[in-house]
Homo-oligomer: A and B are copies of this chain.
């Protein structure tokens, strides 16, 4: 038996306990929990085969009461002795996509982001469209290309057409961008015609991840009318390997910045709440932005309520992104499109000028939130490097 050491100030203390899927030495992937710099093998530690699965889906499908009970058991275990064979150094494991993605929806819930993009894409019109403050605008993305952090991103090719080009051309995207977001994972869904009220959020949503919605702006700009983004986004969406339980985010709950006009009743919460999560975006190792989730206009619970109010069912593994997180300050913007103002105001990154991503560039997004023990809990990171187009 052994005890798990948790370094002082670790963002993976007992108030976090995020779940992931790991393997050791090419072995079978299975569910683990991050504790300090260790990974606890849950099937080995708890003797429960639901954690021997290569994804979190079977455990998530067991529902809220089990999520609470297992979290309590893990907390108790971590304080005492655990079998040696159940503990691995995080440096010794490979991390995999933590859950099978059912449907993937991406929202657009930051007023600052939506306003900036509106100014850039539709310079002659009101930046916010008439529907934006009445409903959380969102669309479905490609579930099959949700990738775990660390997966290289090959620069996508596609059609683009500048405003003065006579015809579109085909080639590698010249405006490859990121979107720094949070993603929320549905643990237990609902059948058809069973909308989820905002106040029921925590009984259905299992956890949250960091999400990078890679975006080819030139492809997107040409294709997106009238049915929305498609190939400009569908080549890759990266997520962090650790799913932070919603149960660990209680201390991060804060009021929303405020909604005016008041949303329709199906979007109202008894106590509307956001999350005080700070993201950091590093470009080739240099911090370029600190997107603040606390500034988001629409709440995670409102997004879920909206997504199901028409009778659409939801499933274990459904993932929804918040949309780019941008704050009011320039250095709080979560996309390079906004940081470089459409490419017109280059950034200096490690001494080089940058607007959009060059081949070989690497982006790392990290995030932290207040934890229950007075410190901060961590989301880990979502990392991706750009490879040249094939």
Which residues from chain A sit less than 8 Å from chain B, CB to CB?
A: 102-103, 105, 108, 118, 121-122, 129-131, 134-135, 137-145, 154, 156-159, 161, 167-170, 189, 192-193, 216, 219, 222-232, 234-236, 261, 264-266, 306-307, 309-315, 318, 390
Contacts and interface: CB of A to CB of B under 8 A. Distances in A.
Given A135-B159, A137-B226, A139-B139, 14 more contacts: A103-B144, A129-B226, A131-B225, A139-B228, A144-B312, A157-B309, A157-B311, A170-B266, A192-B235, A219-B310, A224-B228, A225-B226, A234-B307, A235-B310
Contact of A144 (B130, B227, B261, B318): B318
Nearest to A170: B264
26 contacts: A122-B226, A129-B226, A131-B161, A131-B223, A134-B159, A134-B161, A135-B159, A135-B223, A138-B230, A140-B141, A144-B312, A144-B313, A144-B318, A145-B192, A145-B312, A154-B193, A158-B309, A167-B261, A169-B264, A192-B236, A216-B310, A219-B310, A227-B229, A228-B228, A228-B229, A231-B310
Given A121-B226, A265-B170, A309 B231 contact: yes
Contact of A143 (B137, B143, B169, B234): B143
A144 B308 CA distance: 12
Oligomeric state, in copies: 2
Contacts of A306: 231
Contacts of A222: 131, 135
A312 B232 CA distance: 10
Nearest to A228: B228
Contact of A310 (B143, B158, B309, B318): B158
A156 B103 contact: no
Contacts of A231: 306-307, 309-310, 312
A168 B264 contact: yes
Nearest to A122: B226
Nearest to A171: B264
Contact of A230 (B102, B130, B139, B158): B139
A314 B159 CA distance: 20
A314 B266 CA distance: 36
A140 B102 CA distance: 13
A311 B233 CA distance: 11
Contacts of A227: 108, 137-139, 224, 228-229
Contacts of A232: 310
A385 B175 CA distance: 46
Nearest to A168: B134
A311 B265 contact: no
A221 to B, nearest CB: 10
A102 B226 contact: no
Contacts of A228: 139, 224, 226-229
